[in-house]
Amino acid sequence: MKSKEKILIIDFGAQYSQLITRRVREAHVYSEIHSSNITLEEVIKMNPSGIILSGGPMSVYDLGSPQISQEILKLGIPILGICYGHQLICKAFGGEVEPARDREYGKTILRITGESRLFENVIKSSIVWMSHGDYLTKLPDGFKVIGQSDHSPFCVISNEEKNIFGVQFHPEVVHSVEGRKIINNFVHGICQCIGDWTPKNFIDDSIERIKNTVGKSKVICALSGGVDSTVAAVLVKKAIGENLISIHIDTGLMRKNESEKIGKMFDEKLDLNHIHIDASERFLKNLAGVIDPEKKRKIIGNTFIEVFEEEAKKHGDSKFLVQGTLYPDIIESIPVKGVSATIKTHHNVGGLPEKMNLKLIEPFRELFKDEVRSVGRELNIPEEFIERHPFPGPGLAVRVIGEVTKDKLDILRDADDIFINEIKGAVLYNQIWQAFAVLLPIQSVGVMGDSRTYDFVLALRAVNSVDGMTADWFKFENNFLEVVSNKIISKVRGINRVVYDVSSKPPSTIEWE
């Protein structure tokens, strides 16, 4: 049975909205983000167990600042407002918000001053993370103060009778020591959720939905070789058996010998009996002369669909295409909030053509990467596959910066292979979320032997993350980077300089394009 429990997160442009979603899901309760444009009717239809109002970059009194329907606040659904959401609650119920004389940004001490279910088993004084320029100066009607900080006298407010709470700090970030406990108290103690959002329940529900959607039709699955599409294929096969047709397209944009290696794993370990299509010349021809990364993604997305639809015609009643699209793909490709921007188009989201004959099945479009891995483990997929680093849908096309050619791809493949093998040799692979090499569109002067060279610069990238929404660069030992650099320069013709990317996400993205 599908869980009826759901926490609705209404987003006002916060940089931490995805973290709120994650924290709720970590409490085994399903949650999803919706824009502040959401209507009363949509909320009623959704029937959430609770609502969380996110933070945001604006003042609640700014012209054009995102607001919320007053009627939503009066539905009797438990509400937790965070930062901007806290101030919206104050404004809605007759309180006052003003610019703070002393802005709070970073760590501060929260002192609990009142009793509340929100603070069940929460220590009386703890570090929390602040990020605000406005603060409450008058308590809203029917509310009491239950927490304070040095610069926020109304840091936490509550109306216990109406189950409405507001916190000026960000409980969703790791810097707020008791933050997860506070969110758990809201989700379980106040919203009365039992917490049945588990991989097993997700699988059972997905199988039922896939069967009802597909019927007896054939379904084509796009097997890229990554974790997401592979777990999706195993899940769909569990639902419809031999009506699944798994296809792996060698785009010519894969890593060194990758298509051959994963093909064996698909058939020998996962019993997918996949069809292998070599379309490398077609992809490279379509990408010739293209530099803009968004155009690359759209070309690759269109070419994928063309190939799949051609293959579908060979299988009579094929009507559906399975893809391993994830929630972060949706978030980054399609703005979910009125003030956000599209960061980049994922080929399996915004890169698809507007008209295509196959209908999409995307069982993981509401999941994060680590949740997909949990589903994969529940499906008994080998750990060696589950722990594979993420690989972008457009493949090496977005790791060759600028025009993509076979020569550049071959150079990058060899360099990337050395980098990954050295990481595995140093037993670091499972400590890193994602590692890869990027071939830059610049050349630099070097000396090899007694000769002058003018070859490409290679960037190495390795990051740690939980869900791909934020990431920190991995701190290799200097001697490791030295060994890798020397091996790449000495063994890969066409590269004479190696650099290491030490930027985090944000402000950078994990991939370069």
- Exposure of 187 by Cβ count < 10 A (0-12 exposed, 13-18 middle, 19+ buried)? buried
Burial of 172: CB neighbours in 10 Å, binned 0-12, 13-18, 19+: buried
Beta-carbon contacts of residue 356 (< 8 Å; ≥ 6 apart): 305, 309, 321
Q: Parallel, antiparallel, or unpaired for β 434-448 and 472-473?
A: unpaired
Cβ-contact 345, 295 below 8 angstroms:
no
Instruction: List, in order, residues 6 or more apart from 17 with CB less than 8 Å away.
Output: 9, 11, 33, 54, 55, 337
Please list the helix, strand and coil fractions of the chain in percent, rounded to the nearest 5, in that order. Answer: 35, 25, 40
Structural tokens at position 465: 């993350």
φ and ψ at 295, to 5 degrees? -65, -40
- Helix and strand numbers (H, E) in the chain are 15, 18
Q: Are 346 and 329 in contact (CB under 8 A)?
A: yes
Active site residues: 83, 170, 172
Q: Which residue has the tokens 């094929």?
A: 318
Cα separation of 20 and 25, whole Å? 9
Phi first, then psi, for residue 487 (nearest 5°) are -65, -45
Which residue in the block uniquely carries the two structure tokens 């973290």?
Answer: 19
Can you tell me the distance from the alpha carbon of 432 to that of 83, in angstroms, rounded to the nearest whole number?
33
Q: For 368, what's the count of Cα atoms within 13 Å in the CB-facing half-sphere?
A: 19
